[in-house]
Structure 1
Amino acid sequence: MDGDEKIKILVVDDRPENLTALSETLDDPDCEVITALSGEQALKEVLRAEFAVILLDVQMPGLDGFETASLIRKRRKSRSIPIIFVTAINKEDQYVYKGYTLGAVDYLFKPFDIDILRSKVAVFVELFRKNRQIKAQARLIQESERRERARQVAEVQRRGERRYQNLADLVPQLVWIVTRDLRFEYVNQRTLSYFQLDGERIAGLILEEVVHHEDLDGKKGAWREALLAGAELSVEVRLRRGRDGGFRWHLVHIQPEHDARGRVRAWLGVATDIDDQRRVAEALAAEKERLSVTLRSIGDGVITTDTAGRVVLLNRAAEQLTGWTQEEAAGRPLAEVFVVREVPYVREAVNMDGAAATGGGPDHQAVLIGRDRREWAVATGIAPIRDANGQVQGTAVVFRDVTDAQRLEEERQKASKLESVGLLAGAIAHDFNNILTAIMGNISLAKLYTSAGEQVFDRLEEAERAALWAKDLTQQLLTFSKGGAPVKRPIEIGSVVRDSAEFASRGSNILCEVSVNAHIIVEADEGQIRQVVHNLVLNAQQAMPEGGRVWVSIDEVRRVACDGYGLAPGRYAEVVCRDEGVGITKENQARIFDPYFTTKLKGSGLGLATSYSIVRKHNGIITVESEPGQGAAFRILLPASDMRLPSLVDPVGRVRRGHGRILIMDDESFIRDVLGRLFTHFGYEVGYAKDGAEALAAYKHAIEEGRPYHVVIMDLVIPGGMGGREAVRKLLEFDPKARAIVSSGYSNDPIMANYRHYGFCEAVSKPYRNEELRTIVQKVLAP
């Protein structure tokens, strides 16, 4: 190579304007700047010429800078060419680390100081020039040997070596040459300073003595393989600083130096201190991991974006609610992942880029539409992410699932509405049912004086049926009242639902198909459950005025966790009533369980409200799913029971006569009168009392006369006097074997549901039919 030939510098960048700018910056009369627009072109240039240094852009299409550097390093002729990476994008530590791993001597970030660039390039140009001079001098030495000028050539060599060492002393890396057995032969001044040794003491030191034993044990295999193969090696190890000092991480690059026969004569090594970079990278990684663990463990959903509004991070809660995973959502617009409706502020903020988000706490209610189209009620807030200088770096969206809380609040509001109706019902129920009791009792008496088939008997039957309808209406209102409870007994829900559904559809223009898929016992008020099923079938019938089909199914389901309806985990009986009617709109679905709400001209608005109240008082839930024109499906869940059905007993049937003494306690004289006449007709002796005090006195007096009462029928509520609750307590104190039946026109009183707890043998709700009361008395009097 001609010593006057210009030194070549290779500049690689895919942007022509960058090549032009770098060429002008590095313009020097003694240098020639060769440009390449791609990694592929750069490789061709490296094959054609020898370069003092390569300025290599990292981010390029096709072969990027790292791939190009790797290929250059693989070629023996070009592997020692200094490479300086230049980039404007990949500034993270891992990229810098990767560049040094590939053998880069430096890593510059755009924009950079031109003087620094020129200085760095000048060092390698000068190093190349000196190296070329050394080679030229070597040729002179060979020529001098032939011309007996060995002394002059030797002087040139010594001068070249000194210059080489001087140049090596200028670089910030540790530079050394070790023999084949890894003993130090040459080190630069930086190495002497780091190891805190002088030239004589360094000569006997072995390279492996200054490497941390943990790194040596872990890397020893690679060291040995490189030594045996005569290959170069790049590895991160900790080097001891001084004989008794600490250790610092270095990126060590070692390559062999061969003799004329191709055998390894020595090893050339360069160690770059990366301890600070590693500590920063480890700290960043630890902080990132802590942040990641924190974000993934909290219950609120968190989504962060960059300044372009594209998703950067989703935590676990956000993945569950949106249906997107971190990998799927990364890089997508926030509005595509976080889809909301109903709240303009949130929707507008989501559609903005990261720099435009104004912020706000998680107090805005919205509806989040998941990837699977499921909807979640969320409380959300959006705020900008700012750096230490206050510059917006992105957006943070924090949102919380409040679906269950919202559902509970809706349930509470429904219950509150129903309770307001119950207050009105409770106020009139007692008096109204007392009147109905007298009416039904007198009808029963009148029927005793006529026979079936007679016109009067038929009229009385119709009158009794009308009174029962009035009773049902009152009972529907009472189901809304607070504090009351159904009179529960173990029932087989499947048979009750089947009988009720078939009865309700009998004679109509609908076909009701009942499927009992599981035989489940529940504790329930059978009459109320029949009323619920009747209401649902009737509702389906009204939704299909031209006729159609209704499907009713009974299954057993298990719930493993609490939900927004407040149901505890466990076994449940599931009753589903589905029709093919006109369906229910979303707006009406939120109101169909409200009292008096109806969309039908002839509807009372009490059927579904009653059903809702009954189911809730049985610790269950009732829900609806519907789309307009696609029918409706009502779903009921009732807690399953492990209790057994009571043994069947022979019904009283048509027993006409009885015996025994009955004490009737009621504040209404017409009720005492009608009951007295009924029981007298059936052969009983009857006594009367208008309140608890009279009943206790009469009971004691009867015992004293030796003619005790066998059963006492007590009205629960006596205005202005002692009612059944206190009276039965005092009665049992006097006679623990006394038998009492509680009766009330307000059947939702807690005592009516738990009558045995208060000392009663049975309970009967007003108004009652003659046969119902007579059966209960027969049961109590049975031995």
Structure 2
Amino acid sequence: MIDDERICVLGVDDRPGNLIALEAVLETLGITFVKANSGQEALEFVLEKEFALILMDVQMPDMDGFETASLMRGNRKTEHIPIIFVTAINFQQRHVFKGYNTGAVDYLFKPIDAQILRSKVQVFIELFRQKEILKHKAMELERANRHILAQQRALKTSTMRFTTAFDQSFQFMAILDARGRVLELNALAKELCDAARRNTVGQYLWDILCLGNAEQHQSLQAIVERAMAGEATNDEAVFYDRNKEMHSFLRTVSPVRDETGEMLFIAVQGQDISKRKKAEEDKQKLEAQLRQSQKMEAIGTLAGGISHDFNNILTIILGSAEMAIRVSGGDHEFDRYIERIIMAANKAKDLIQQILIFTRQSDVQRVTFPPVNIIKESVKLLRASLPSSIEIIQKIDSRSGPIVADPTQFHQILLNLCTNGFHAMEATGGILTISLDSVTFDQPVMRGGDEIKAGTYVRLTVRDTGAGISPQHLARIFDPYFTTKEVGKGTGMGLAIVHGIVKGNGGFIEVESEPANGSAFFVHIPLAEGAGEDRNPADPANSNGGESILLVDDDEVFLKMTGVMVEMLGYRAVSRREGSQALELVRENPNDYDLVMMNHVLSGVTGIELSDKMREIRPDLPIIICTNPGSAALTGASAGKPVVADMAC
């Protein structure tokens, strides 16, 4: 309620006595009566305060009541204030109408009846009071409306945030009603449910998800039914998208209740862990490869050590055999036996080289060779190792020219392709055909997205009559670790290695295959430039002989054999088993030696260290260091130094 003392009534009269009389009559109403002695003063009051009513005399000097009322009605701030004219003259009707026209709501004529005055004033006070109450309520409604609008904006913002987070979440999210029917799906869930082509709202989730099999379908239905009974579930599941690609998900299905415990809806969430699982699988593969690599490194280290000692033995055998031929006196029968020893020793040497290449202890050595002989030798090995259910057919064009490659790598290409063909025919048997011919391209051609240079290529073809390769797998067969074989039948690296070797030699490989109709691999390697020319370099002119060669090796037998061979060639050999002894000889007589030949592995010192010390004494001293093939220590240590690393020892 509004306090009456706060309600103001303005009295306007140029005679103070009249105003006092009015104030006395209205005193019992409990209001505030404000007195103005002129129209100008009245105008100032109404601009400062709010009045419930104005009691104004008509006859006033300077500005009469009509003019004052007219000015009040012309101001938006005061136009609403009711005015009662109080006058003792001008009872004529025209004056009364003039007063109403200027904004008066009533007239009081003097002498004024006190009861009538209070009654009329009381009416306007009550009207003012009700107006103020309405104004107050309007303000409260306005505040309430602003609060509601603010809440609506906050709710809209919150809803927008939720909708954005819901739709843009990388998780599968679905909201189901208490019976398991779809209320809302986020973007990922819509994609998996193919919501763009069908209505999903109101459907059971297990009826619209592509679960792949009945077991997964029943599993989801059972989990949702448990959620309907109030039980939450976490498990792993498999979904299929509309492209039939499989996705592994961590799935959570849980009921959501209000504060009274009543179920509002069922929330289904799924986190796609396909990439994580693939990463874990890749990690396991890498760990397996690392373990295999470490095994191969250990084998390689062992093979490197064995090959060093074995090469020393072979050197003694070969050296002794060559010396035996020199002293045989022309006994041809005896020479044939010795030549067989030399042939066998050279094969053993090549075998060691292959072992070192296999264990990555030897560098790739590209030479010019005809692949015919390697194919024939490989076929012999294959016939002995493959079962009788696999028939091997050779179609070798002996006119196929030589290629420039590593013979061991070419052998690996052939064995990998043949092994691949054998696995394709292992269950049923079949025919393995190995062909060699040549093909010429008169101009560059495109093969597998690469431009192949014009020229002649030696073509190796390996064809099997096995199960063939499906089109979707054909594009991936050269990918590392890709395999369709059973566990234990392959690592997925065989064809990748073949592809890498062929590309590394400037060639290319093509494949033809159909399911149930076998496969054919065509390996093209460029024909060696100048094929048919004599590539054997002329023997260097023999020196005059008599030069002094210092031999250093801790193997006494090897040292003696090398010394004999050097002397047979017309040189003078000086042998020492200890590096310190050899160094002392050079220090005492640095110019007495035309060449130093030493083993890289010596007791107490390496060949590199010993050669450095000798070079400090005599910088121009020629030195040959004999070492195991592919010695990383020698290769790294001799970088930038004039030291010859002989791979033959």
Q: Bigger radius of gyration, 1 or 2?
A: 2
